[in-house]
Amino acid sequence: MKLLYLLGAFILIGGTDAVDDGLISHESNVEYDGKFHYHFETKNGTKVTQDGLLKHVNAEHDGESIQGKFSFKTNDGQEFAISYIADENGFQPTGAHLPTPPPIPESVLKTLKYLEEHPQQKKN
């Protein structure tokens, strides 16, 4: 639930023009079993959609699983979009503008292949 509040605060801070530009659509639904759906869109092009549910993580923990996306346009008209999953594995965003890891060097790929083909044997 803290993540939900954090994302909401981020959207409000990042989209302060949303109030001035007017709300085009808004949906909010929370069900008795913990499922929820939230969506809004503004005239300035900001769009937010989020769906979540309660889930059993392990014998000792229950948690939330949230999937969502948001997009906004900058003053120069460029659009940024992020899709994300937030669950027991943390916040996992994806977006074309987000940095990605560099490619794995060929020498490392060859080493990994060699190790896979020649597993270490136990000495007795």
| 18 φ/ψ angles, rounded to the nearest 5 degrees | -60, -40
- Give CA–CA dist 114/101, Å, rounded: 23
Where do the structural domains in the chain lie, given as residue ranges?
2-98
- Give CA–CA dist 23/45, Å, rounded: 10
Per-residue pLDDT, 5: 46
Per-residue pLDDT, 11: 55
Q: What is the tens place of the pLDDT at every residue in 44-100?
A: 889 999 999 988 878 788 888 999 999 998 888 889 999 999 988 899 999 988 888
Q: Are 66 and 81 in contact (CB under 8 A)?
A: no
CA angle 95, 42, 75 (to 5 degrees): 65
Per-residue pLDDT, 21: 58
